[in-house]
Amino acid sequence: METKPYLLGIDIGGTGAKAGVFTATGDLVGSGYGEYAMISTVPGQAEHDAEAWWQATVQAIKDAISGIDAEQIAGIGVGCTNGLIAVDRQGVPLRPAIMLWDQRALPEVDRIKEQLGAETVFEITGNPVAPGAFSLPTILWLKHQEPEIFAAAHKLMVPGGYLVARMTGVFCMDYSRASTTLLFDIKRKKWHEPFLETLSISPDKLPTPLPCDEVAGHITRTVAALTGLKEGTPVVAGCMDTIGASLGTGILEEGECFVIMGTAARVAGPMKSATFDRRFMNCTHVRDGYYQYIGAINGVGSALRWIRDTFCELEQKRAEVSGEEVYDLITGQAEHSPPGSKGLLFLPYLAGERTPIWNPYARGVFFGVTLGHNRGDFFRSVLEGAAFAIRQVVELLGTDGGLSIKQLHIGGAAASSRVWNQIIADILGKRIISLTQSHTEVLGAALLAGVGVKRYADFTSAISQTVATGTIYEPDLEAHRTYNRLFPMYGALYEDTKHHFEALVKMDLPQGWIK
């Protein structure tokens, strides 16, 4: 019997749903994308219409499988960003999804620390108590502020599990996303009932936790008619986007490291033991006995997009006329500025920050502005600020984590910039290896499905057959020496200004937060 040749990967991201059909050797033969908008009517809040996720996914799937025999798709995997969705028994959302950028649950952080204890939470879950990045504060906000929604909720889902439920009718949550709820025992891989009892959360409201590559269910007849997929096609439980990225970038061994440059950046890699650092997010890995650290940095692609939207109307108009990529026009100007941007430093905390400071009040800072600075200097300082943030995380992995990281694989939309990749290499003083496959999370989700349906013997085999590297960026030693002089000032700048951030946020002023 001939093996079905295709795998379908889906990723629910911050701005849209991507779908990709891959051959067993990793060749992309069909792709689709559906966009949706952020909903932010109140400062500090960030929501998505989960129904829009579903509609965008349906469209992305239809586009991806156009011209492909759906019967030849062996399995489907789903990766996702983080958010909380309350759904009814049919899987229909009861309200908009509350996303990881949302800060409304800040007061619940103190409640969790008081009732559970921050040290106890870290010991059980491997993670710090924080809003947005972790679901529990949002769950408690929903319980206390919208009790009728909480009571009506059949399940409290994450985006990937929500899609699996819509496709199969099975309510589950993969281990990696369960790790970011603060309700999951990361070592025993099950819901921690003492936390649920203390907080009066019924375990019935939580989906069944499953291994990422376990087949959770199969495409229903209704979904087959809606999307063009074959009824009965297996769907695995899925994974958080960073686990998908780990597979898609070919990183499986301890000491290996990758960076995904999207709206936010994630510096991540595997660990053989549960030696967690509270400055990082931590989750289960797809390999038994392994875990994954995640240095989550908020202001990367989002900072460059803010520059585009706020200051680059001319570049956008030129791009529309010429067909050039607007970001290439921006980074091209940055390239003409010298390393260090003539002494201009940028703290990329435009949406607060996670690793390593975990400060939702943190704000962006331009420091050292003079009359001699031009647009290119500001553009370059934004690229450098994100790269300094990445270096800060990588150095912690070496000094405190004992990991010897000699090079980094880099992927994601923002990583396609030659200029930015070289800046990152120069600031870190390490080799940067770009990837030929730009949709790393989508490929990773497809590989997850491939292992789940036995298309590959294991993850090592899956990666060896599919992941290809591209351009190598070696650090410029002279530029690296310049950045070595600036890096300590970058770190000190936050310490010198942090006491102002919360006071500024709490002033009775219009707030920017999330647009």
CA distance 390 to 386: 6
pLDDT of residue 199: 97
Helix pair 159-168, 50-64: axis angle to 10 deg? 60
Measured CA distances, 433 to 253, 258, 474, 478 (Å): 16, 9, 9, 20
pLDDT of residue 511: 66
CA distance 71 to 229: 8
CB 450 within 8 A of CB 14: no
| Identity of residue 130 | A
Burial call 312-349: b when 16+ CB within 10 Å, e when fewer: beebeeebeeeeeeebebbbbbbbebebbbbbbbbbbb
Q: What is the mean pLDDT of residues 303-325?
A: 95
Q: Render pLDDT for 467-491 as a digit per residue (tens, 0 to 9).
A: 988 899 999 999 999 999 999 999 9
Task: Answer yes or no: is pLDDT of 93 > 60.
Answer: yes
Q: Render pLDDT for 143-190 as a digit per residue (tens, 0 to 9).
A: 999 999 999 999 999 999 999 999 999 999 999 999 999 999 999 999
Q: Quick one: what percent of the chain has pLDDT higher than 70?
A: 98
Q: What is the mean pLDDT of residues 327-341?
A: 97
Q: What is the mean pLDDT of residues 394-409?
A: 91
Q: What is the mean pLDDT of residues 132-151?
A: 96
Return the closest-CA partner of residue 243 out of 20, 84, 447, 408: 447
pLDDT of residue 513: 52
CB 60 within 8 A of CB 11: no
Q: pTM above 0.75?
A: yes
Q: Render pLDDT for 209-253 as a digit per residue (tens, 0 to 9).
A: 999 999 999 999 999 999 999 999 999 999 999 999 999 999 999
pLDDT band at 401 (very low <50, low <70, confident <90, very high): confident
CA distance 142 to 515: 23
Task: Answer yes or no: is pLDDT of 512 > 70.
Answer: no
Task: Answer yes or no: is pLDDT of 363 > 80.
Answer: yes
DSSP assignment letter at 414? G
Domain boundaries, the chain: 6-237
Residues paired with 33 in a beta bridge: 18
CB 216 within 8 A of CB 164: yes
Question: 6-237, superfamily in CATH?
Answer: ATPase, nucleotide binding domain (3.30.420.40)
CA distance 21 to 226: 18
Burial (Cβ within 10 Å: 0-12, 13-18, ≥19) of residue 465 = middle
Contacts of 20-23 with C-beta under 8 Å, sequence gap 24+, read 20/64, 20/439, 20/442, 20/443, 20/446, 21/64, 21/65, 21/68, 21/73, 21/446, 22/443, 22/446, 22/466
Neighbouring C-alpha atoms within 13 Å toward the C-beta of 499: 3
pLDDT band at 41 (very low <50, low <70, confident <90, very high): confident
Q: 338: cis peptide before it, omega within 30°?
A: no
Measured CA distances, 506 to 99, 158, 389, 510, 514 (Å): 22, 30, 26, 10, 16
Task: Answer yes or no: is pLDDT of 339 > 60.
Answer: yes
| Identity of residue 341 | S
Measured CA distances, 381 to 258, 265, 306, 422 (Å): 23, 17, 13, 14
